[in-house]
Amino acid sequence: MHHRPRTAVLALLALLSGCTSTTRTLPPSNEFQAAAARAFTSPDRACLVLVDDSTNDSRVLNPTQADRRFPPASTFKIPNSLIGLHTGVIPDPDHVLPWDGTPHQRELNNRDHSLRSAFAYSVLWYYQELARRVGQPRMQHLLESLHYGNADSSSGLTTFWLRGSLRISAHEQIAFLTRIHAGALPVSAHALQGLKDIMILAQGPGWTYRGKTGTYSGPVDGVHSDLGWFVGWIERDGRSLFFAANDSTGLNGPQVREQVEQALIDLRELPADWESHARQVDPP
């Protein structure tokens, strides 16, 4: 597989972390507009950002929404996993934390989980316990070191990514994913490899598909918002395509994921038969 020179990757990352007009934004092509229109029923209240690392080009549906910061909700499980692995409070992706017996609405949450299964099934209690083990001072320091959104954990160690102070835009989500992919973060190689492994949604000959959904319901700048997120990237044909999308029409994260996947298939970025290669993750 062809790898971009490290100097070129770092130059791209410097641009990505500096502003939202990061890479060269292409005028929306007819193909991109048609795919987005088919996938997103209300494109004026949604955004989709695609960044191709082989060309540094980006395509954006609704730049105004792509610039707006929202709580990351469960997409924060990406940096939270990275932090847990880097600090060693979670030694490896298959490390199991015992369920404490507190009943949850989702029956799947009412059992022990590993980091791998907690990521796959978006098990909140696992990540709240992970955050407690990291601790507030270390969590805040790492958020700042990772340059994740506004890096604000001030509203509470176990809730700041849910209904609290942490905010991130679609452009910033992609900037963070790009740094993960390039290994340009101040974390251990062990943590990066573990995260990349648990993020895999599907994998086939010559391609790998990674991502994470998130669902938020609550106030944003004083106005109630119901928001779904889906972020990730596809490695295929020696290149990587990063994506970030959110939709504020009341759809949840899995529904936004369906929209993004439809667009990616229409654009021939995601194999149409990807579901036959989906990774199966079983709780421990």
What CATH number should be reported for the domain holding residue 83? 3.40.710.10
- Label residue 23 by pLDDT band (50, 70, 90): low
What pTM value is reported for the model?
Answer: 0.91
202, part of any domain: yes
Q: Does the residue 27 lie in any domain?
A: no
Give 69 or 163, the one with higher predicted confidence: 69
In a domain, residue 14? The reply is no
Q: 215 with 227: CB under 8 angstroms? A: yes
* Domain-located, residue 20: no
Domain, as residue range, for 171: 68-238+249-277
Question: Is the pLDDT reported for residue 15 higher than 50?
Answer: no
Q: Where is pLDDT greater, at 20 or 99?
A: 99
> Which residue, among 101, 29, 76, has the nearest Cα to 177 in the 3D structure?
76
For the question of residue 74 being annotated catalytic, the response is yes
Is the model's pLDDT at 25 over the cut of 90? Answer: no
Which one of 17, 21, 42, 74 is the catalytic residue? 74
Query: Which has more pLDDT, 121 or 25?
Result: 121
48 in a domain, yes or no?
Answer: no
pLDDT of 124 higher than 50:
yes
Tally of domains within the chain: 1
Residue 257: inside a domain, yes or no? yes
Residue 21 lies in a domain: no
Mean pLDDT for 113-127 is: 98
Is the residue at 243 inside a domain? no
